[in-house]
Amino acid sequence: MGNENREQWGSKFGFIMAAAGSAIGLGNIWKFPYLTGVNGGAAFVFVYLLIVLFIGFTVMLAELAIGRASQKNAVGAFAVLSKNPLWQLVGWAGILCGFVILSYYGVVAGWSIKYFIASFTDLMPIAESGGAGDYFGGFVSNATQVVIYQVVFMIMCIIVVAGGIGQGIEKACKIMMPGLLLILVILIVRAVTLPGAEKGIEFYLKPDFTKLTPKVLLAALGQAFFSLSLGMGCMITYGSYIKKSDNLASSAFYVVSMDTLIAFLAGFAIFPAVFALGVEPGAGPGLTFVTLPGVFAKMGGGMFFCAAFFVLLFFAAFTSAISLLEVVVAYFKDELGWNRVQASIAMGIAITALGVPSAMSLGGSPVIFGMEFMDAMGYLSDKILMPLGGIFISLFAGWMMADKLEKEVTSDGLHPFGLYTVWLWLARVVAPIAMAIIFYFGIIE
C-alpha cells in the first residue's frame, strides 16, 4: 500500500502524546469532573469506565485502523477503501465537524490566554472581592478583545500544523502533554492539602447508584465520545501517520486510558479546592472562568496557581485544536494537492472567520434556531455530526473492510490481539447501536 512520501509520527510514544493531546481537551477539565460530581460520583465513574472500555476503545481502534490501512485523510480514506462513493460523506461530515468545533474551540482557548495574563495583573484582587463573575461578563462582552485572543490562539495553531506531523504536531504534544500532567499534579497536591478538602472529594466521588438514570447514562456516553475525539475522522487522520510496525490495539488502549485518567484527576484539582474555600461549584465555562479564579484568589500563592491552571487549560485546548486543524488540512493536502503551509494558513483563516460570531456570542450575539451562535455550533457538532460519524465509521470498519481489517489491527501477526473477535462484534453491532441511541435522544431533546 502506498505512499512512500507520507509523513509519519517519529515514534509510538510521539503518536500517543499527539492522540492523547487531541483527546484531552476542555471536555476533560470543565465537563467530566462536574458531570461526575452531580451524577452519582464513583458510581458515574464506574459506568463511564465501562463505556470507555467497550465503546470508546472500540471506535478509537476502528478509526485508527481505517486511517492506517488507507494512508489517507478522513475523506480519502473511504475513497481508497470502498468503491461506493457514498461512504465519503462520512468523511465530509467529519471535516465539516472539525471546522465547526475548532471555530468555537479557538474562542474559548483564547480566553485561557487572556486569563493566564490576567492572573498576574488585575484578576486576583477583583476575584478576591467576589467580582470574578462580573470580570468574566465584562471580558466576553468585549468582542474586540475576545477576537484578538482568538486570533492569537489560531495563529499559534497554524504555525504548529504548518510545521508538519513530526516537527510540528508531535513535537508540540511531546512538550505540552507531560507539562499538562506536571501542572495537574501540582494543582492536585495544593488542592487536597487545603483544610476541608475532604468535603470536595466527597462531593466528587461519593457513590450513589440511584442517580444512574437513563439520562445520565446517555450523558456519559456522549461525554466519552466527545472527550475521545471520536466520530469525526480525527483519529482516522492521525492513524494514517502511524508506522505499519506499531501495534494499533495497544496504542488505542494507551490513548483511551490517558484521556480517562486525566479527566478523573482533574476533579481532584478542582473540587477539594472549591469546597475547602466554601464556594459553590458551577459547570462548564462558569466553573473554569468564574468559580476557580475566585477560589485561587482566596488561597496562599493564588496568583501562581491561577496562572498554572490557565496554562494547563491552554495546553489541553491547544493540543486538541491542532488536531482539529490537521483533519481539515490533511484533506486539502491529500485530495487537492495543496502544500501543508498553504492549507494550514488558508483553512486556519477560514475557521477563525467562522468563529467570530461565536466570539461575539456572549455579548449580545447572532441567534440561529433560537440558540446563541456558539451553542448552535456545539449542538451541530456534538449532537448531530459526531454520533452519526461514529455510527458509520464503526459500521464501515466492522463490515466493509473484510480481511484488511484484521491484518491492520494485528499488525501482520506480529502483535496478536487476543480479543479481536470480541472487538469486531463490538464494532459491528454494539457501538453503532449505542451511538444511534445518543443520536436519537440528542435530537428529540
Instruction: List residues binding ligand TRP (CB under 6 A).
Output: 22-23, 25-28, 101, 226-227, 229, 232, 234, 320, 323-324
Provide, rounded to whole angstroms, the least separation between the CB of residue 358 and ligand TRP: 15
Provide, rounded to whole angstroms, the least separation between the CB of residue 155 and ligand TRP: 18
Provide, rounded to whole angstroms, the least separation between the CB of residue 233 and ligand TRP: 9
Gap between the Cα atoms of 209 and 201, Å rounded: 17
Gap between the Cα atoms of 10 and 195, Å rounded: 45
Residues facing 372 on adjacent strands:
367
Gap between the Cα atoms of 383 and 440, Å rounded: 9
Gap between the Cα atoms of 97 and 94, Å rounded: 5
* Sign of CA pseudo-dihedral 107, 165, 388, 28: negative
Nearer to ligand TRP, 126 or 224 (CB): 224
Nearer to ligand TRP, 274 or 324 (CB): 324
Gap between the Cα atoms of 289 and 249, Å rounded: 37
> Under 8 Å CB-to-CB from 51, ≥6 apart: which residues?
220, 221, 224, 434
Provide, rounded to whole angstroms, the least separation between the CB of residue 225 and ligand TRP: 8
Provide, rounded to whole angstroms, the least separation between the CB of residue 313 and ligand TRP: 11
Nearer to ligand TRP, 28 or 394 (CB): 28
Least Cα distance to 233 among 334, 348, 344 occurs for: 334
Provide, rounded to whole angstroms, the least separation between the CB of residue 141 and ligand TRP: 24
Nearer to ligand TRP, 87 or 105 (CB): 105
Nearer to ligand TRP, 275 or 318 (CB): 318
Nearer to ligand TRP, 95 or 308 (CB): 95
Provide, rounded to whole angstroms, the least separation between the CB of residue 23 and ligand TRP: 5
Least Cα distance to 392 among 340, 354, 439, 343 occurs for: 439
Provide, rounded to whole angstroms, the least separation between the CB of residue 189 and ligand TRP: 24
Provide, rounded to whole angstroms, the least separation between the CB of residue 219 and ligand TRP: 14
The residue number with the shortest CB distance to ligand TRP is: 25
258 close to 181: Cβ distance less than 8 angstroms: no
Provide, rounded to whole angstroms, the least separation between the CB of residue 228 and ligand TRP: 6
Nearer to ligand TRP, 150 or 320 (CB): 320
Gap between the Cα atoms of 152 and 352, Å rounded: 10
- Beta strands 371-372; 367-368: pairing state: antiparallel
C-alpha cell at 133: 463573575
Nearer to ligand TRP, 254 or 417 (CB): 254
Nearer to ligand TRP, 226 or 331 (CB): 226
C-alpha cell at 52: 470507555
Helix (H, G, I), strand (E, B) or coil at 371: strand
Nearer to ligand TRP, 229 or 411 (CB): 229
Q: E-strand spans in 346-405?
A: 367-368, 371-372
Q: Backbone phi, then psi, for 5, in 5-degree steps?
A: -90, 0
How far does CA 39 lie from the centroid of its chain?
A: 21
Gap between the Cα atoms of 229 and 349, Å rounded: 22
